[in-house]
Amino acid sequence: MPKVSVLLPTYNAPHLLKIALDSVLQQDLGDLECLVVCDGCTDHTAEMVRSYTDPRVVCYDLPKAPGFGYANRNIAMKKASGEYMSYMTHDNVMMKDHLSTAVATLEQERQLDIVFMRSLYVSRELTIVPNTFALHDPVILADFLDLKRNRIHSDCTVHRRSCFERFGYWDATLERGGDWEYWRRVIKNGGPNNFRQLNHFSLFRFIAFWRDRTSEVSGVWKRFYQECTSETLTHFQLSSEEGVSEQQVIWDMCQKPDFVCTLRENLYPLLELFAIFQDRILSHRLRVINNLEKQIENYDQRAD
């Protein structure tokens, strides 16, 4: 029995799937099986998966299921034999210690049913932004459990396979959000302190290839990268030749021995710079508000 089962659903993206699958197979925890679910693929995806001679790769070539294909995912998950269940999508990249870090936590802390890792978002322009969504914050957790707000991707999640026996499988009647609904079910019904979000960045997440080609780096983060001049930011802004996918660029960089370590070493300096930048913006906004209040007060006094 493998230590971990990894579910990897896909649809007509063999050029990206190969990178994602290779990142799973190169985990430093090699005791795993990867269940690739071809959800109604109409191209050569299934043939590409079957070309892998690694016995850890299992292909489920299934007719298209409704919505995001949760019914097909359940078929594969019911065949999973690992002690732990992990998730991957065909357009993301795992860092080598993604599974080993999550599993080590679950084995050391037996009260936990599920752990969430952290991800680095990579934009179309190859700007890397850390996901700072914090489940330990009571307000954010309440919104998460009320299905109001979520920035935890399914790939960031590892849980005990025994959760299926206790909480069931994904809701196949949902068109979307099946992962979120399942995490909520596990947390709400698993007892106190049965989950943890680790401060360990171990996944590169990309905008889905079928979405609009515009950047998702917006708001304060976009302004931060435009205005901040610290050398720290150079580690989080990459470049590539035209026509090369963001996934390929990151995967090639991951083959360099110091790339991931350098990113992690500079993450907290980056977040500290970002916090200072946010504070400056807030201070500026407060000054504007105070000036407006004074102007209103002066106007009222003149009117009297």
What count of residues does the chain have?
304
In the chain, the domains with their CATH numbers are 4-206 (3.90.550.10)
Q: What is the pLDDT, as a whole number, of residue 235?
A: 94
Q: Who's near 74: CB < 8 A, 6+ residues apart?
A: 169, 170, 172
Contact indicator for 221, 237 with CB cutoff of 8 Å: no
Q: Which helix (H) or strand (E) holds 183?
A: helix 178-189
Taking alpha carbons only, the member of 237, 254, 232, 290 closest to residue 94 is 254
Provide the pLDDT for residue 287: 55
Q: Which has more pLDDT, 280 or 264?
A: 264
More confidently predicted of 284 and 291? 291
Average pLDDT over residues 73-87: 98
Q: Given this model, what pLDDT does residue 75 score?
A: 98
Q: What is the pLDDT of residue 209?
A: 63
Locate 109 and state its tokens.
Answer: 């802390």
pLDDT digits (tens, 9 = 90+) for 87-139: 999 999 999 999 999 999 999 999 999 999 999 999 988 999 999 999 999 99
The pLDDT of residue 227 is 87
pLDDT at position 4: 98
pLDDT digits (tens, 9 = 90+) for 177-218: 999 999 999 999 998 899 999 999 999 999 876 565 555 666
Residue 184 near residue 174 (C-beta atoms within 8 A): no
- Residue pair 58/34 in contact by the 8 Å Cβ criterion: yes
CA dihedral 200, 18, 13, 61 (to 10 degrees): -100
Tell me which of 30-34, 202-206, 208-212, 232-236 is least confident. 208-212
What b/e sequence results for 204-222 when a residue is b if at least 16 CB atoms lie within 10 Å of its CB, and e otherwise? bbbbeeeeeeeebbeeebe
Q: Which pLDDT score is estimated for 217? A: 64
Q: How far apart are CA 148 and CA 150, in angstroms?
A: 7
CA 218 to chain centre: 18
Mean of the per-residue pLDDT values of the chain? 91
- In the block, which residue shows the tokens 């294909």? 69
When pLDDT is averaged across residues 62-76 and rounded to a whole number, the result is 96
Q: Tokens 């083959």 sit at which residue?
A: 255
**Who contacts 94 (Cβ-Cβ below 8 Å, separation ≥6)?**
20, 23, 24, 27, 88, 155, 202, 203, 204
According to the model, what pLDDT value does residue 216 have? 61
Q: What is the pLDDT, as a whole number, of residue 79?
A: 97
Least confident of 11-15, 28-32, 163-167, 281-285: 281-285
Query: 266: which 2 tokens?
Result: 């500079």
Instruction: Give the amino acid at 231.
Output: E
Lowest-pLDDT choice from 90-99, 152-161, 218-227: 218-227
Nearest to 123 by CA among 208, 32, 4, 206: 206
Residue 272 CB neighbours (<10 A)? 12
Where do the DSSP E strands lie in 131-181?
157-160
What region does 27 belong to: left with phi over 0, alpha with psi -120 to 50, or beta? beta
